[in-house]
Amino acid sequence: QVQLVESGGGSVQAGGSLRLSCAASGYTYSNYYMGWFRQAPGKEREGVARISPTGAATYYVDSVKGRFTISRDNAKKTLYLQMNSLKPEDTAMYYCAAGPRATMRWWEYNYWGQGTQVTVSS
C-alpha cells in the first residue's frame, strides 16, 4: 500500500515556475509507475506526465512538453514535477498517483494524493 501527499502548489504569474512534490510512504513505492494529473473547474481529469519505477522512462502530454519535467527520488520516496513557463491554462488542482503500469488512464491508478492547487494569473 502507498500513501501520497502533494505539496508545492500556489499562485504565480504567467511565465513563472513552481515545483510540486509528492511524498510517499509504504514499502512498495519503488515498484510503481507514478503520474501527475490535473483537473480544472468544469473540465475532466487530465494526465500530465508519468514516470517508470526506476525513472528511466517518462511521458508528457503535448501541452506541457518542454515546460514540465517529472522526476523521482526512490531513496527519498518522493515524486516531483518541475513546472516552468507556466500559462493560465495550467491552472488546476494537481494530483499525484501510483499505479502498476505505463498508462495515462486515471482510473488505472491505485493510489492518489489529496491534491495541491496551482493558479496561474495573466
Q: What are the DSSP calls for 22-81, one per residue?
A: EEEESTTGGGSEEEEEEE-TTS--EEEEEE-TTS--EEE-TTTTTTEEEEEETTTTEEEE
Q: What is the pLDDT of residues 2-36, one digit of tens each?
A: 899 999 999 999 999 999 999 999 878 889 999 99
The C-alpha cell of 112 is what?
A: 492518489
- Please report the sign of the dihedral spanned by the C-alpha atoms of residue 9, residue 14, residue 19, residue 24: positive
Q: What is the pLDDT of residues 78-88, one digit of tens each?
A: 999 999 999 99
Summarize the confidence of residues 35-57 as an average pLDDT: 97
